[in-house]
Chains A and B, each alone.
Chain A
């Protein structure tokens, strides 16, 4: 069974305190790993897609990395506006372009000023 596990469940940081969020996965036929940001009462906002081990992508204070078993979302010198739930999802399926996503439960990140 395809599984995605995120840790920690919740994380509180002080403004400027860097840290990392983890996403571990066990899937058959990984076609891509996605990171999303979700604000309360809103749909997920796309951040990154990673496809192969060793791949890295950056956007402002965020950097996503991927290994064969897990992905990390590194946040550098975060600001209060980075507070949100960060979701990890893996795209699975034998059919090219099926785009079925299996989500982790998310990490609720709070950045205190």
Chain B
């Protein structure tokens, strides 16, 4: 079964809307979550690393005020796309950090965000 639960799976909304995406770890307490985005037929690009109880670490070129990350508990990380515009339409996927680097690393099922 799924070890990372991501919700919602699909969002369609108007430009200017803020959208929150949730990612829950189901198998163990994930102190770290990774957030990726994927454009059609393109590679996954790491956006940010979410750390429980501290500020997220953003990759170069990713606007931290645009993509707000909250990781208030050991099992839940959220990504909020603020004032979304059509260019933010993409597939957003979270991944938990495994306890050991040689363990399987599980992704959520992704959120398809479409901004009209």
Contacts and interface: CB of A to CB of B under 8 A. Distances in A.
- The answer on A and B forming one complex is yes
Interface of A: 4, 31-32, 34, 36, 41-46, 49, 51, 87, 89, 91, 96-97, 99-106, 108
A91 B104 contact: no
Contacts, number: 65
B101 A43 contact: no
Interface in B83-98: 91, 93, 95, 97-98
Given A43-B107, A99-B32, A99-B97, 4 more contacts: A31-B101, A46-B107, A91-B101, A105-B43
Given A42-B109, A44-B93, A96 B101 contact: yes
Contact of B105 (A31, A99, A105, A106): A99
A43 B102 contact: no
Contacts of B45: 103
Interface string B20-53: 0000000000001010000001111110010000
B106 interface: yes
A105 B42 contact: yes
Contacts of A91: 101
Nearest to A34: B105
Nearest to B107: A43
A48 to B, nearest CB: 9
Given A41-B112, A43-B6, A43-B93, A106 B43 contact: yes
A3 to B, nearest CB: 11
B102 A32 contact: yes
A99 B102 contact: no
14 contacts: A34-B105, A41-B9, A43-B95, A44-B107, A46-B106, A46-B107, A97-B97, A97-B101, A99-B98, A99-B105, A101-B34, A103-B44, A104-B43, A106-B43
